[in-house]
Structure 1
Amino acid sequence: MPGTIIITGANGSLATPATELLLSKYPDYTLILTARNTDTIRTRNGTRNVSIRELDLSDLSAVHDFATSIASEIQAGTLPPLASIVCNAYYWNLRSAPETTANGFERTFQINHIAHATLVLRLLGQFNRKAGGRIVLFSSDAHWPGKKGLEKLPPAIPDDLRALIAPEQEAKADVIGRGFQRYANSKLAIVMWMYALNRQLESDLALNKITAVAVNPGNLADSRALRVNTPVFLKIMSFLIIRPFLFLLRRFSDPTMRTSAEAAADIVDFATNTTSPGERGYFTHSRKDDSSPDSLDQAKQDALWSKTIEWAGITGENTALEVEHLYVDNSIQN
């Protein structure tokens, strides 16, 4: 049953081919494409059932306002109920010290995790109750210690969760190493939060047909991530090695490496619930996979769940989740 699909970061490398594929293969869906700067979104002009909206994930008040607007339109019947939320937008910075948003949170963690969690929790009640729907979260093999060449400090969710939103400023910090760790931590948090979210959805009779997946789309050779907020050597590698020799790298070095268009095909099938329909969990490409051992720590999953609720400003008044599902007892310091 077609409905509305929201794609954040719709100006990104993967979002453009995903949008084109949705328009050609699944034209009955209504698409809401969001970005901080809507002028950078590329899609066919005049295409019906496509709405381009401004959404700044570094401003949680803007996320709440956007969610309120979408909910009002669905309730008024001017938008179909949600079929999927594709949390595609991302941020990283390998060139400078940690940045803080106006909300007081570290920028990478807010954009990648907190803002998307806010959007999802605010809009759970706008899915089709009979058909359910899909929440597509983006992770990475970066969440698994030792799997990325840029890793100098392994990803880890600290016992004091405040360290995720307010990392220490170190006078002689390794900018690349620390920046990549912040990114990897956000991807680890996304996987852990996905497991906690699915537990809450499954135990909520009104929402248990909504499923969440965290997808590692693979290492994208043509990703804008290799050219934005990155050191010069990575930009050079992108143009001179990674993109020209993708076939060889995929065959002999990293089998997950591929193009954004290839990854987009999988994401579209997740969003339309045609890949692994009704399944939840962690996927690499379109294949169900194991996430890292650290990500399976349920006590930390529950701690992160509860703290995310607080950071996101979610209450019983602004989400469809039953109140008893919002707060989970845990013993982790937060």
Structure 2
Amino acid sequence: MTTNQKPLPSGFGARTTAREVLGDKRLDGAIAIVTGGYAGIGLETTRALQAAGATVVVPARTPDKARAALAGLERVELEHLELGEPASIDAFASRFLASGRPLHMLINNAGIMATPLRRDARGFESQFATNHLGHFQLTARLWPALRKANGARVVSLSSRGHWNSGVDFEDTHFERRPYDKWVAYGQSKTANILFALGLDARGEAHRVRAFSVHPGAIMTDLVRSMSEEEVRAAVESANKLAPMKTPEQGAATSVWCATSPQLDGMGGVYCEDVDIAQVAAANDETSRRGVKAWAVDPALADRLWARSEAWTGVRFTP
């Protein structure tokens, strides 16, 4: 069943926080994995889910930093994961599967932004490799646990930055075209949306639904690769479109997609401000509200899926 890409409306909005989304809802017995769940939006996502009773596994690239950030939180398990290293992804997933637990919520929250041109060991551009391919492989490896939940949700953190670029299937990894860090970031964020669309189409029969999310503009460690001047310019530009959000507000749409009964029986949609977003008008190049048509095209989602399986060497087992 295809979910319409249009607001419900949900009754929530841009200023809603993650805990307000949950209200008095309890998640006792539920298991969640939140990549990057120890900083910024991810940390607020972890806090909201564990406060409602869920057990949250937080795989981190820097465990010492994560341990300090997560101190005092109940039902939070710290793990190691480097999304840019395929062997690390496989090792983490194997450890989780060995626990025999179902996975009710997978929130693919971690990412990098506007980095200089770097390549992983396979030669892939780092933003695409980390933001999309790393989470593609992680989700594939965790597929048995998602199916075991008998009702799971996968949330992929995208961005309004997807407006910067669709996926260039002819030169995805900037082997011929000049590298532009914002085009590369936008391409990776479009890939996150297309992945959610493709995953939902394949997962619905197994009661695994997928969503993509624009959390809003929030000042977090994601800007660590940018200069102070670039950060100031980005904040000024973001504020012209919509007021900046707090991390608590930024986590709201992720938590809503992962838990809300309003989305029962739905999936494959891009969400922002705690609701399903509109498809952006074709002639709108300024508002950056909603989702670009190139990011919600099922044919492009299938094309990306096939390429991602080839790039990673990982296939989803039905």
Q: Give the TM interval when normalised to the shorter protein.
A: 0.7 to 0.9
Which runs of 5 or more residues in structure 2 are unaligned? Answer: 1-26, 280-290
Residues 1:223 and 2:220 are matched in the alignment: yes
Q: 2:181 aligns with which of 172, 179, 183?
A: 179
Residue of structure 2 equivalent to 1:132? 151
Q: 1:70 aligns with which of 96, 112, 129?
A: 96
- Correspondence list, 1:1-334, <5 A: 2-24=29-51, 26-27=52-53, 29-41=54-66, 42-45=68-71, 47-73=73-99, 75=100, 80-94=101-115, 96=116, 98-127=117-146, 129=148, 131-144=150-163, 154-160=164-170, 163-168=171-176, 170=178, 178-202=180-204, 205=205, 207=206, 209-220=207-218, 222-226=219-223, 228-236=224-232, 249=239, 253-255=240-242, 257-274=244-261, 276-280=263-267, 281-289=269-277, 290=279, 291-315=291-315, 319=316, 321-322=317-318
TM-score, normalised via structure 2 length:
0.79
Q: Tell me if the contact between 1:20 and 1:43 (Cα under 8 Å) persists in the aligned partners.
A: no
Cα 1:308–1:11 shift into 2, 3 Å: same
Cα 1:287–1:118 shift into 2, 3 Å: same
Instruction: Output the CA distance in 2 between the equivalents of 1:214 and 1:299.
Output: 17
Residue of structure 2 equivalent to 1:151? none
Q: For residue 68 of structure 1, what is the amino acid of its counterpart?
A: S
Shift of 1:115: 0.5
Tell me, what secondary structure is at the counterpart of 1:127? Answer: helix
Q: For residue 90 of structure 2, what is the amino acid of its counterpart?
A: H
Q: Tell me if the contact between 1:19 and 1:43 (Cα under 8 Å) persists in the aligned partners.
A: no
Once the two structures are overlaid, the 10-residue window that deviates more, 111-120 or 301-310, is 301-310
Q: Tell me if the contact between 1:106 and 1:165 (Cα under 8 Å) persists in the aligned partners.
A: yes
Residue of structure 2 equivalent to 1:330? none
Instruction: Output the CA distance in 2 between the equivalents of 1:167 and 1:279.
Output: 38
Q: Give the fraction of aligned pairs with identical amino acids, expressed as a percent.
A: 23
Tell me, what secondary structure is at the counterpart of 1:136? Answer: strand
Alignment length (residue pairs): 277
Which runs of 5 or more residues in structure 1 are unaligned? Answer: 145-153, 323-334
Query: Considering only aligned residues, what root-mean-square deviation do their CA atoms show, in Å?
Result: 2.4
Shift of 1:235: 3.3
Cα 1:52–1:284 shift into 2, 3 Å: same
Q: Tell me if the contact between 2:84 and 2:129 (Cα under 8 Å) persists in the aligned partners.
A: yes
Cα 1:49–1:100 shift into 2, 3 Å: same
TM-score, normalised via structure 1 length:
0.76
Residues 99-147 of structure 1 deviation map (CA, whole Å, 9 limit, x = unaligned): 0112321111011000101111111211264641110001111212xxx
Shift of 1:8: 0.5
Cα 1:266–1:168 shift into 2, 3 Å: same
Q: Tell me if the contact between 2:36 and 2:109 (Cα under 8 Å) persists in the aligned partners.
A: yes
Q: Tell me if the contact between 1:133 and 1:273 (Cα under 8 Å) persists in the aligned partners.
A: no
Shift of 1:83: 0.8
More contact order relative to length (CA 8 Å, sep ≥ 6): 2
Tell me, what secondary structure is at the counterpart of 2:266? Answer: coil
Once the two structures are overlaid, the 10-residue window that deviates more, 210-219 or 254-263, is 254-263
Q: Tell me if the contact between 1:83 and 1:272 (Cα under 8 Å) persists in the aligned partners.
A: no
Residue of structure 2 equivalent to 1:325? none
Cα 1:269–1:297 shift into 2, 3 Å: closer
Instruction: Output the CA distance in 2 between the equivalents of 1:69 and 1:9.
Output: 18
Shift of 1:169: 6.6
Shift of 1:278: 3.5
Tell me, what secondary structure is at the counterpart of 1:135? Answer: strand
Instruction: Output the CA distance in 2 between the equivalents of 1:225 and 1:45.
Output: 22
Larger Rg: 1
